[in-house]
Structures are given as structure tokens and as C-alpha cells.
């Protein structure tokens, strides 16, 4: 069962297996964000080892001409024991990405990381504009303000609902409220125009919720928004039918592609943190 699960939702154990999967997805007209699995390292050596994989990925994306970028969690690079080290390591990644015209997405983790992640993204974006962005979670009360903050700085956002367990004092407990906030935020992101430059910000609408996807399709149509102004983002192996349909309709689609030997603890943590994640994976395991 573990092998079957990993084969469906994880793109292999090695860098080469992940790059091969990336190439296959690209041939379907779908972009990729590569994520080397691993969290909560405890030494600088482990953090540097994690970073080395990302530098390999950035070089391979460039030399092989892949339509891909990378996603990294701060807990992979020492944030829990040395935030300054984590920022140096991610800064080196972003500098590398800027050099090869690529992009680093700093993933969002639980709420204790939220402000530090946003602030680090802002500092790095000031040094390397366009080469770094982050993720915002629609279930947090603070996210509307965070979205305005980042949009006004021209920083790319990946909008997701949120997969970590958070308390009712900081997050919407009801799914209907999370969905409503998500729709409000996605509409804002695709219509945002900087008051000084008149430019928008290219954002990722990360959802497998077909009702929300349909709302976005209708909104784009009704407001004559260019399909190239944003992209839909989904997880590798989940709702492949929807990914292909959106691609055929001319929307940009990017798949978040995790890989690496840490797949088992990664899945167990995600499932333990939030029971809804178990239901979500089980439902999608039997879909195309």
C-alpha cells in the first residue's frame, strides 16, 4: 500500500526520478514545482544537504530547459534552530534561481512560521525581485492583510486553503468560511493592479476544489481577465483529469511535485496533523 501511495502522489526517491517525472508532466503542457521532501532538520550539515539538492534541481531545470521551479520549506534548512542560517541558505538558492532565470517558492508551514516566512520572503524579494515568492493560507484570519502586503510589494503568492491544524482563535473553523475567504482572495489576486505601476502580480490559485475552479473560470470570463494573468496549481497525482481539462482550455496549470526518501514521514505528519487530509487523499486515490 505504501509503495502504491508513494507511486501515485510522490514522483520517485531521487533527483533523476523527479526530473524524469517533471519532463513527463511538461510534455502534457503542465508546469512543475519540484519539492525535495524533508522537514525539521537539526544540524547545519543536514540543512546544507537539503540545500544541495535544490541547487542540483535549479541547474538541471536550466540545462534541460524544463518548465519548472522549486519549492522549499524553511524547516528543511534550519529555521527551527538557526533562523539566520536558514535565511543565508535560502538566499543562496534565490540568488542561484535569479542567475538561471528560475524561481524559488518558500512554502508555508504552520502558523508559528507565518510571519517569519513572509518577512524573509520580503527581504529576499528586495534583493532578487521576481525570483522568490511564498504561500498564503486562506483559513487564517490574517491572510487578507498579508495578501495586500505582498501584492503591493509585487511578490508572487501561491494561495491554498491550508493543511495544518490551527485553533479557532486564528483560523476559520468552518469549511464554508474558508472557501468564502479563498474565493475573495483569489479574485483580489487576479484583479490587483499596483497603483503606481499599474502592473498585476502573477499568482498561483492552488486548489483541487472543482466548485472553486468553476467560480474562477466564470470570474475570468465575466471580467475579461487574461488567462495568462495567473495559473492553477495542484498536487502531483491528484485530479489529473481536471489538470488536463484546464490545460486544454488554455489555462496555465502547475503541478507541485514532491519526491525523495522522506515521503513516508512526510505523509504520516500530514495525515496526523489534520484528519481531513486522510479523507482527501483517500478520495483522490481512486480518481484520475
Chain-centre distance for alpha carbon 34? 9
186 is in an annotated binding site: no
Which residues have C-beta within 8 Å of that of residue 8, sequence separation ≥ 6?
Answer: 237, 285
How far apart are alpha carbons 256 and 68 in whole angstroms? Answer: 10
161 is in an annotated binding site: yes
Which segments of 68-142 does DSSP mark as H helices, in order? 83-99, 114-127
119 is in an annotated binding site: no
175 is in an annotated binding site: yes
Select which of 35, 105, 107, 179 is catalytic.
Answer: 107
How far apart are alpha carbons 197 and 193 in whole angstroms? Answer: 8
C-alpha cell at 248: 486544454
42 is in an annotated binding site: no
11 is in an annotated binding site: no
Return the closest-CA partner of residue 60 out of 21, 89, 92: 21
137 is in an annotated binding site: yes
184 is in an annotated binding site: no
Quick check: is 240 catalytic?
A: no
Quick check: is 254 catalytic?
A: no
208 is in an annotated binding site: yes
Select which of 156, 158, 239, 254 is catalytic.
Answer: 158
- How wide is the angle at C-alpha 226 spanned by C-alphas 224 and 230, nearest 5°? 125
Annotated active-site positions, please? 107, 158
Instruction: Point out the annotated binding site for substrate.
Output: 73, 269-270
Annotated binding site for FAD: 108, 137, 161-163, 175, 207-208
Q: What residues form the annotated binding site?
A: 73, 108, 137, 161-163, 175, 207-208, 269-270
Amino acid at each position: 500500500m505504501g509503495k502504491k501511495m508513494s507511486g501515485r502522489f510522490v514522483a520517485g526517491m531521487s533527483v533523476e526520478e523527479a526530473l524524469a517525472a517533471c519532463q513527463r508532466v511538461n510534455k502534457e503542457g503542465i508546469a512543475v514545482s519540484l519539492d525535495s521532501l524533508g522537514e525539521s532538520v537539526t544540524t547545519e550539515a543536514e540543512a546544507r544537504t537539503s540545500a544541495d539538492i535544490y541547487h542540483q534541481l535549479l541547474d538541471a531545470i536550466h540545462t534541460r530547459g524544463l518548465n519548472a521551479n522549486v519549492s522549499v520549506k524553511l524547516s528543511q534548512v534550519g529555521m527551527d534552530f538557526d533562523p539566520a542560517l536558514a535565511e543565508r541558505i535560502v538566499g543562496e538558492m534565490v540568488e542561484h534561481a535569479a542567475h538561471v532565470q528560475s524561481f524559488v517558492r518558500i512554502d508555508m508551514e504552520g502558523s508559528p512560521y507565518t510571519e517569519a516566512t513572509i518577512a524573509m520572503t520580503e527581504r529576499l524579494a528586495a534583493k532578487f525581485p521576481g525570483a522568490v515568492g511564498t504561500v498564503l493560507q486562506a483559513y487564517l484570519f490574517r491572510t487578507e492583510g498579508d495578501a495586500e502586503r505582498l501584492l503591493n510589494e509585487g511578490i508572487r503568492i501561491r494561495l491554498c486553503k491550508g493543511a495544518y491544524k490551527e485553533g479557532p482563535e486564528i483560523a476559520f473553523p468552518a469549511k464554508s468560511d474558508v472557501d468564502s475567504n479563498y474565493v475573495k482572495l483569489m479574485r483580489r489576486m487576479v484583479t490587483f493592479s499596483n497603483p503606481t505601476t499599474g502592473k498585476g502580480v502573477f499568482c498561483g490559485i492552488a486548489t483541487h476544489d472543482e466548485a472553486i475552479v468553476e467560480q474562477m473560470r466564470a470570474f475570468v470570463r465575466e471580467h475579461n481577465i487574461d488567462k495568462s494573468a495567473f495559473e492553477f496549481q495542484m498536487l502531483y497525482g491528484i485530479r489529473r483529469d481536471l489538470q488536463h481539462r484546464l490545460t486544454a482550455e488554455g489555462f496555465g496549470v502547475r503541478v507541485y511535485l514532491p519526491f525523495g526518501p522522506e515521503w513516508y514521514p512526510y505523509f504520516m505528519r500530514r495525515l496526523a496533523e489534520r484528519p481531513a487530509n486522510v479523507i482527501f487523499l483517500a478520495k483522490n486515490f481512486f480518481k484520475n
